[in-house]
Amino acid sequence: MQQDEVFMRRALALAARGRGTTSPNPMVGAVVVRNGEIVGEGWHERAGEPHAEVHALQKAGEKAEGAVIYVTLEPCSHWGRTGPCTEAIIQAGIKEVVLAVRDPNPRVAGRGVQRLKDAGLTVKEGVLAEQAWKLNEIFFHWITQRRPFCVAKYAMTMDGKIATATGESKWISSAASRARVQQLRHELDGILVGVDTVIADNPALTCRLPKGRQPLRIIVDSKGRIPLEAHVVTVPDAKTLVATTASGAEKLAGALARHKHVTVIAVPADENGRVSLPDLLALLGEEQVTSLLVEGGATVLGSFFAAHLIDKAQVYLAPLVIGGKASPGPVGGEGVASLALAQRFAITDCQTVDTDLLITAYPLPEEKEERSCLQG
């Protein structure tokens, strides 16, 4: 088992190289081992291109005969944009397949394992399963829930403020923290803000990494108030999706028609006449948007938290104190009337980023106990 974990860790490290480039596919790594030595390895580099197993087998060549292949995710057994990996493994003469986790995709979901067993191969499962599940938390959520994995990101001071009473907010977090956020924009499919943020800050909402992938910019604008001169409208570096209601769509469709990178969609309204967030997420999931960076402002974050639609929170805590009753906090809305009704989170990681503290947390079901902050 110790040797299995060594090779699976290598496969997981390879898989992580596909972060930000494989969506809507999962990140997968594969290592071919013969007589205790790695003879081939690879990872899934981009959606539509060969899978990790194919890359690893090609590099192994004839040495794959009688070898063991370590794969972070159950090999596919169906035809998609590429051929089934199970057949490539069988034809290469592999004798044993060691898996981290099964693929919850209904098109795979155990079929790959069964095909390998039917062909006479030995299959071992569950090696570093927790790490493999964590690596592909976005894909597993999207493929089972059919909506994007939503990450709430915000920076606040030690007293819970995101701006002064006059609205000054640049910059609460450090330059190093802001660079981390650019990496997030590269890794996730979309970035979502409310129209009030567009009006107040006029952000470009682009990834500024040299070779970064541009996320889909999603503006929640129930009444069609987006300024036509806003950067998300006039800057074509990334695509923009304006999510509005039927009346808002009627107002905006003609005004934004000349901007080819901007799309307006009408989403059913909730009981308050605003864009229904569950319906919006369902529509995005159908369009293979697997993940969202929810950046705010306070009204949007409040709505997402209130609807229990946040799947992960990343909070940058800056060593500043602003004070003042009129200074805003990161999460708006009406809030809960008692602590018993508060949504609870498990803090899974705390780390320093320059002068800031980055806290990562996940929604915690009522019956589970909160885990303590893990100092890294």
Question: Known catalytic residues?
Answer: 53
User: Whose CA is closest to 322, among 153, 217, 169?
Assistant: 169
CA distance 268 to 270: 7
Kindly state the tokens that stand for 321.
């104190």
Kindly state the tokens that stand for 149.
């994995």
Strand positions, DSSP E, the chain: 29-34, 37-43, 68-73, 96-101, 122-124, 149-157, 190-194, 216-220, 240-244, 262-266, 291-296, 312-318, 345-353, 356-363
Pairing of strands 216-220, 240-244: parallel
CA distance 225 to 248: 8
CA distance 362 to 212: 26
CB atoms under 10 Å from CB of 136, counted, come to 23
Residue 281 C-alpha from the chain's centroid? 13
**C-alpha count within 13 angstroms, C-beta hemisphere, residue 333:** 17
8-state DSSP, 189: S
CA distance 138 to 19: 11
Distances (CA, A) of 241 to 12, 150, 256, 282, 299: 34, 17, 11, 15, 19
For the chain, counts of helices (H) and of strands (E): 12, 14
**Radius of gyration of the chain, Cα coordinates, nearest whole angstrom:** 23
